[in-house]
């Protein structure tokens, strides 16, 4: 009796040691996702979560990256810069040194300068402020999505062909909204268009009526909208009630998304906008992705930021694979200049500023096969869509 117990104990101990040893050999890859799970950008944070979960589940099903499993941990930032920084630091302290998830540019701008000190690396897939790969660029920060100045280049090709001369700007009063407004102003004045009204509404604004009335009073023929999440829906719904959407040409960024369409229905029909990613893109890789997505999340198509976050994860995983290491420093080094296949084709990561070099799209919300969705009208190739790196970035 006593011996059996002893044997059992030894066996258990041996098993534990073996398990410990094997997990040390192929340490897991720990991705910390500090994102806006609640708040005015809560829907965008949930999109990031769905995309990261999807990508991680997929790669783990294939046995992980070089045999290393990927593990995630989430923290809620409410899209607030100060909370984002605390949550990111918490994740890093827990060993999750590969970060992603920022929604508002302010969040990423707060985290990026800390990355080297924390010995972490970060993949931005949503924040658009130019400074992240400009004056505030960091050797440890990479951006998968398309920044404002690049969106402006794509808008330029569209705006040239529009007859409207007088434009208004309706932006969110955040680093991103102001940045987008400034980029649009620059593009528009280069094309001899006038900006006749400008409004920037705080995050979580309830009543947009004064802004809408101001735009209507200004005599603008078109309006550029840089609002996202709940703000975008609030504005669109109220603008429709005031007749603004029917009267003016409405275009925007992060405004024409699958989400806006789902929520607004017919209200959104005919709105133009930058489409950074669309589930309708006709590449075999994208089709496979959309099919697999619908299996995991039945009845849904990957939305704009879900696509962008997923492709960010694709490149991140390729970088980890190339680095063959879980050290953030090695991963950052491997990501620099990497070229890899993604759902939107081959993408390279620019050495000078860590921006992904990729094409961009412009389109509008149309009825396609009986469902409203953002439909790509113009594809802009990477060489036009991604202007040269900002000199202000010194890596």
Partner 1 sequence: MLIQILNGLVYAGLLYIVSVGLVLIFGLRRVVNFAHGGFYMVGAYAGYTAAMVFGFWGGLIVAVLVLGLIGILLDYVVFRPLQNADHMVTVLVTFGILLVFEDVVQMIWGADTLSVLAPYPFDGTVQLGDILFPVYRLLVIAVAIAVALGLTLWLRFSRAGLYVRASSVDALTTGMQGVDTEKLSLSVVGLGTALAGLSGVIASPLLALSPSMGSSILIESFIVVVTGGLGSFAGAFIAALLIGQVHNLGIVYVPNVASMLPLLLMVVVLILKPTGFARSYS
Between 37 and 123, CB nearer to partner 1: 37
Q: What are phi and psi of 339, to 5 degrees?
A: -130, 125
Nearest distance from C-beta of residue 103 to partner 1, angstroms:
12
Nearest distance from C-beta of residue 35 to partner 1, angstroms:
11
49 vs 51: CA distance, rounded Å: 5
Question: Taking the C-alpha atoms of 125, 129, 134 and 136 in order, what is their torsion angle to the nearest 10 degrees?
Answer: -90
Query: Any long-range contacts for 7-14 (C-beta under 8 Å, 24+ apart)?
Result: none
* Number of alpha carbons in the 13 Å side-chain half-sphere of residue 394: 1
Nearest distance from C-beta of residue 182 to partner 1, angstroms:
15
Between 215 and 334, CB nearer to partner 1: 215
DSSP tag of 28: P
227 vs 78: CA distance, rounded Å: 16
Q: What are phi and psi of 202, to 5 degrees?
A: -60, 155
Between 105 and 259, CB nearer to partner 1: 259
Count the residues in the chain.
395
Report, in angstroms and rounded to the nearest whole number, the Rg of the chain calculated over CA atoms.
23
Between 97 and 257, CB nearer to partner 1: 257
User: Under a CB-based contact definition with an 8 Å cutoff, are residues 306 and 312 in contact?
Assistant: no
Specify the DSSP element, H or E, that contains 373: strand 371-380
Between 36 and 146, CB nearer to partner 1: 36
123 vs 285: CA distance, rounded Å: 22
Nearest distance from C-beta of residue 126 to partner 1, angstroms:
15
Nearest distance from C-beta of residue 315 to partner 1, angstroms:
26
Nearest distance from C-beta of residue 238 to partner 1, angstroms:
6
Number of H helices, E strands in the chain: 15, 15
Between 49 and 140, CB nearer to partner 1: 49
User: Under a CB-based contact definition with an 8 Å cutoff, are residues 257 and 314 in contact?
Assistant: no
Nearest distance from C-beta of residue 242 to partner 1, angstroms:
6
| Tokens 């275009």 belong to residue | 251
354 vs 194: CA distance, rounded Å: 34
Between 63 and 265, CB nearer to partner 1: 265
Between 40 and 150, CB nearer to partner 1: 40
Query: Which stretches of the chain bind partner 1, using CB under 8 A?
Result: 37-40, 42-43, 45-46, 173, 199-202, 204, 206-207, 209-211, 213-214, 216, 229-230, 233-234, 237-238, 241-243, 259, 262-265, 267
Nearest distance from C-beta of residue 211 to partner 1, angstroms:
6
């Amino acid at each position: 009796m006593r011996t059996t117990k002893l044997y059992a104990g030894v066996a258990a101990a041996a098993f534990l040691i073996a398990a410990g040893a094997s997990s040390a050999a192929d340490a897991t890859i720990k991705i910390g996702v500090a994102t806006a799970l609640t708040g005015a950008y809560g829907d965008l944070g949930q999109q990031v979560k769905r995309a990261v979960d999807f990508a991680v589940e997929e790669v783990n099903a294939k046995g992980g990256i070089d045999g290393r499993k990927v593990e995630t941990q989430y923290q809620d930032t409410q899209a607030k810069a100060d909370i984002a920084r605390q949550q990111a630091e918490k994740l890093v302290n827990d060993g999750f040194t590969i970060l992603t998830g920022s929604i508002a540019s302010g969040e990423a701008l707060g985290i990026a300068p800390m990355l080297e000190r924390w010995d972490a690396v970060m993949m931005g897939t949503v924040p658009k402020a130019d400074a992240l790969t400009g004056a505030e660029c960091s050797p440890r920060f990479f951006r998968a999505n398309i920044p404002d100045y690049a969106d402006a280049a794509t808008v330029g090709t569209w705006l040239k062909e529009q007859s409207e001369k007088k434009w208004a700007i309706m932006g969110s009063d955040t680093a991103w909204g102001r940045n987008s407004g400034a980029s649009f102003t620059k593009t528009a004045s280069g094309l001899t268009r006038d900006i006749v009204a400008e409004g920037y509404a705080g995050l979580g604004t309830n009543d947009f009526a004064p802004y809408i009335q101001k735009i209507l009073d200004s005599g603008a023929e078109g309006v550029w909208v840089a609002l996202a999440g709940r703000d975008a829906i609030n504005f669109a719904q109220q603008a429709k009630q005031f007749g603004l959407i029917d009267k003016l040409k409405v275009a925007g960024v992060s405004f024409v998304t699958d989400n806006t369409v789902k929520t607004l229905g017919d209200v959104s029909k005919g709105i133009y906008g930058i489409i950074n990613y669309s589930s309708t893109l006709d590449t075999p890789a994208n089709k496979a992705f959309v099919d697999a997505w619908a299996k995991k999340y039945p009845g849904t198509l990957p939305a704009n930021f879900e696509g962008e976050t997923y492709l960010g994860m694709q490149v991140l995983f390729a970088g980890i694979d190339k680095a063959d290491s879980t050290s953030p420093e090695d991963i950052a080094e491997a990501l620099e200049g990497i070229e890899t296949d993604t759902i939107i084709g081959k993408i390279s990561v620019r050495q000078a500023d860590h921006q992904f070099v990729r094409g961009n799209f412009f389109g509008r919300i149309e009825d396609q096969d009986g469902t409203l969705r953002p439909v790509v009208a113009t594809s802009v190739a990477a060489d036009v869509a991604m202007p040269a790196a900002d000199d202000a970035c010194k890596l």
